[in-house]
Structure 1
Amino acid sequence: METAIFAGGCFWCMVKPFDTQPGIEKVVSGYTGGHVPNPTYEQVCSHTTGHTEAVQITFDPVIMPYEKLVSIYWQVADPTDAMGQFQDRGDNYRPVIFVKDEQQRKIAEASKKALIASGRFDKPIVTQIEAVKPFYPAEAAHQDFYKKQPERFAMEEAAGRAAFIKKHWDE
């Protein structure tokens, strides 16, 4: 098994697209990229810890190669918005692919270049590719949110994300 970490706005909306794929063992909501050990949700939302909401995915690379995970990521986040995602604003919602090694970096960078070359978006692609930093799982209430609170999850997803995905990715 391997791990991948992606940030694309509210972590509640980043779990389901990966969790429902073959070869995924688990998807954990959490925080990464900051300077405070074991931050809480409230601390991260205060914009004082430097953390970004993210998901850590444990996957079987034989069934679900990292390239496919990156492809899914591009289709569920807005790569043109550096300071938030949809209704969620601030540095803790910025889009980032956190890479654990040179192989992941090469795949992520090649994928980003291909997305830029595709012309799919009329604004620049601003998603960052950064080295992995410590990942801290979020509180239990934030795990598997789409399963625990489907009505609220649907409202979050409908707040711009679903329309954006449909506009840019539905063929």
Structure 2
Amino acid sequence: MKQFIAAITLAFGFAMPVQAAEKIAYFAGGCFWCTEADFEKIDGVGDVISGFMGGKKANPSYEDVAYGRTTHRETVKVPYDDAKVSYQELLSAFWRMHDPTDGKGSFVDRGRHYSSAIYYVDDAQKGLAEGAIAALDKSGKFNRPITTELAKAKGFYPAEDYHQDYYKKAATKYKYYRFRSGRDQFIKAYWKDDKNIYQLATP
């Protein structure tokens, strides 16, 4: 059948549709419930997966990470269509959804496992992330230096099912946690005049 379709295409000059390859990005921005929810607002982003990266232990559990038995960070796997949203735009959104100057945790959640990191999959992502970190640092947007770690992506482990889409499954608990965490208050304080927060989700 595939050979037949190919023959018809060549014979009549039809252009075969080209599907954009899905790409992957990995970000650690504190509580993965929140970063998953925020990235899924962006047009061109697929089903974001909450999980762990940055440690040596295979298949860590949430308890392993939460109690510091590993060096993993809470990390989200972000599939995206680069015909709709670029990696640079994902980086821009990432800065606007957490505190990249806190190297010891994220808001009320303390410890390395909640600290900021970008895990690149190739040299192109690495170069773009390095440039974005340098530009944000130079901009003076924050009154402290950027502490986001940049490292090669390897060993991503999805978190338990109950963590996936937590903001949908347990909306009331999620909203309460998020409000109490101070995340949105921080974002509002630093980006209140910014017109680009999650603008990609708006037609």
TM-score tier after normalising by the smaller chain length: over 0.9
TM-score, normalised with respect to structure 2? 0.82
Cα RMSD (Å) of the superposition?
A: 0.8
- Quote the sequence identity (%): 42
Which stretches of structure 1, 4 residues or longer, exceed 4 Å deviation after superposition?
Answer: none
Which of 37, 41, 49 lines up with 1:28 in the alignment?
49
Which of 162, 165, 171 lines up with 2:184 in the alignment?
162
> What is the total number of aligned residue pairs between the two structures?
171
Superposed counterparts of 1:64-143, under 5 Å: 64-143=85-164
Whether contact under 8 Å (1:9, 1:88) holds in the other structure is yes
Q: Once the 2 structures are TM-superposed, how far is the Cα of residue 156 of structure 1 from its aligned partner?
A: 2.1
TM-score, normalised with respect to structure 1? 0.98
AA aligned to 1:38 is N
Q: Once the 2 structures are TM-superposed, how far is the Cα of residue 133 of structure 1 from its aligned partner?
A: 1.6
Q: Which runs of 5+ in 1 are unaligned?
A: none
Distance 1:166 1:59 in 2: 26
Q: Which structure ranks higher in relative contact order (CA pairs < 8 Å, sequence separation ≥ 6)?
A: 1
Q: Which runs of 5+ in 2 are unaligned?
A: 1-21, 194-203
Q: Which one has a larger percent strand, Structure 1 or Structure 2?
A: 1
Greater C-alpha Rg: 2
AA aligned to 2:183 is R
Q: Once the 2 structures are TM-superposed, how far is the Cα of residue 154 of structure 1 from its aligned partner?
A: 1.1
Distance 1:120 1:99 in 2: 24
Whether contact under 8 Å (1:83, 1:90) holds in the other structure is yes
